[in-house]
Structure 1
Amino acid sequence: MGHWLHRNIVEPGKLPLLLALTAFVLTFAITRVVTRMIRAGKGPFGNVSAGGVHIHHVVPGVVLTVLGGFGAVASSRYGFGSGAFAVVFGIGAGLVLDEFALILHLDDVYWTEAGRQSVEVVVLTAALVGLMLAGFSPLGVNGMSDDELHDRGGVISTVAVNFLFALLVLSKGKARMAIFSVVIPLIGLVGAIRLARPGSPWAKRFYRSRPRARARSTLRAYRHDRRWAGPRRRLQDLIGGKPDPAVARR
Structure 2
Amino acid sequence: MDTQVTLRFDLASGAVLWLFAAFVVTFGVTRAIVRLIRSGKGPFRDTSVGGVHVHHHVYGIFLLLGAGLVEFVYRPGTPWLQVLAAAFGAGAALTLDEFALWLHLDDVYWTEEGRKSVDAVLIASLLGLLLVLGARPFDDTAGEGRVAFAATVALNLGFSLVAILKGKISSGVIGLVVSFVAMIAAVRLAKPRSAWARRRYPPGSRKLERARARFPADRRGRWQQAMDRVAGAPTRQKS
TM-score range, shorter chain: 0.7 to 0.9
Residues 49 and 232 of structure 1: is their aligned pair in 2 closer, same or farther, counting only changes over 3 Å? same
Q: Which amino acid aligns with 2:90?
A: I
Between Structure 1 and Structure 2, how many residues are aligned? 219
Measured on the aligned residues, the alpha-carbon RMSD in Å equals: 3.9
Q: Which residue of 1 aligns with 2:65?
A: 66
- Pairing 1:197–2:202 present: no
Q: Matches of 1:36 and 1:106 in 2, distance apart?
A: 22
Q: Which residue of the partner structure matches residue 214 of structure 2?
A: 222
**1:122-161 equivalent positions in 2, closer than 5 A:** 122-137=121-136, 140-141=137-138, 145-149=142-146, 155=147, 158-160=149-151
Instruction: Report the Cα distance in structure 2 between the residues aligned to 1:240 and 1:92, rounded to whole angstroms.
Output: 18
| Counterpart Cα distance in 1 of 2:72 and 2:56 | 24
CA contact (8 A) 2:159 2:182 kept: no
Q: 1:179 to 1:159 in 2, by over 3 A?
A: farther
Deviations 1:58-79 (A, max 9, x none): 1111100111122233454841
- Tell me the residue number matched to 1:4: none
8 Å contact kept, 1:75–1:82: no
Residues 189 and 237 (structure 1), Cα distance of their counterparts in 2 relative to 1, 3 Å cut: closer
CA distance in structure 1 between the partners assigned to 2:221 and 2:69 by the alignment: 41
SS where residue 114 of structure 1 aligns? coil
Q: For residue 130 of structure 1, what is the amino acid of its counterpart?
A: L
CA pair 56-204 structure 1, distance change in 2 beyond 3 A: closer
Q: 1:190 deviation in Å?
A: 3.5
Q: Quick check: 2:31–2:231 contact (8 Å CA) kept in 1?
A: yes
Give the Cα–Cα distance (whole angstroms) in 2 for the partners of residues 20 and 231 of structure 1: 30
Deviation of 1:249 after TM superposition, in Å, equals 3.1
Change (3 A) 1:81 1:35: same
Distance 1:83 1:237, change over 3 A: same
Instruction: Note the C-alpha offset of 1:193.
Output: 8.2
Which residue pairs with 2:35 in the alignment?
36
Give the Cα–Cα distance (whole angstroms) in 1 for the partners of residues 107 and 113 of structure 2: 10
TM-score (norm 1): 0.70
| Residue matched to 2:3 | none
Q: Does 1:239 align with 2:236?
A: no
Q: Give the conservation status (yes or no) of the 8 Å contact 1:162–1:185.
A: no
Shift of 1:85: 0.7
2:235 equivalent to 1:249: no
- CA distance in 1 between partners of 2:235 and 2:191 (Å): 30
Distance in 2 (CA, whole Å) between partners of 1:76 and 1:237 is: 41
Q: Which segment drifts farther, 105-114 or 166-175?
A: 166-175
Q: Residues 75 and 130 (structure 1 numbering): CA distance in 2 closer, same or farther, change over 3 Å?
A: farther
Question: Matches of 1:189 and 1:101 in 2, distance apart?
Answer: 23
Contact 1:169 1:191 in 2 (8 A): no
Identity of aligned residues (%): 31
Q: In the aligned structure 1, how far is the partner of 2:186 from the partner of 2:162?
A: 12
- Counterpart for residue 97 of structure 2: 98
Q: Secondary structure at the match of 2:55?
A: coil
Letter of the 1:121 partner, please give it: A
Normalising by the residue count of structure 2, what TM-score does the alignment of the two structures yield? 0.72
Higher share in helix: 1
Separation in structure 1 between the aligned mates of residue 51 and residue 200 of structure 2, nearest angstrom: 48
Contiguous gaps of at least 5 residues in structure 2: 1-5
Which one-letter code corresponds to 1:232 in the other structure? Answer: W
Give the Å deviation of 1:161. 5.8
Does the 8 Å contact 1:165/1:188 carry over to 2?
A: no
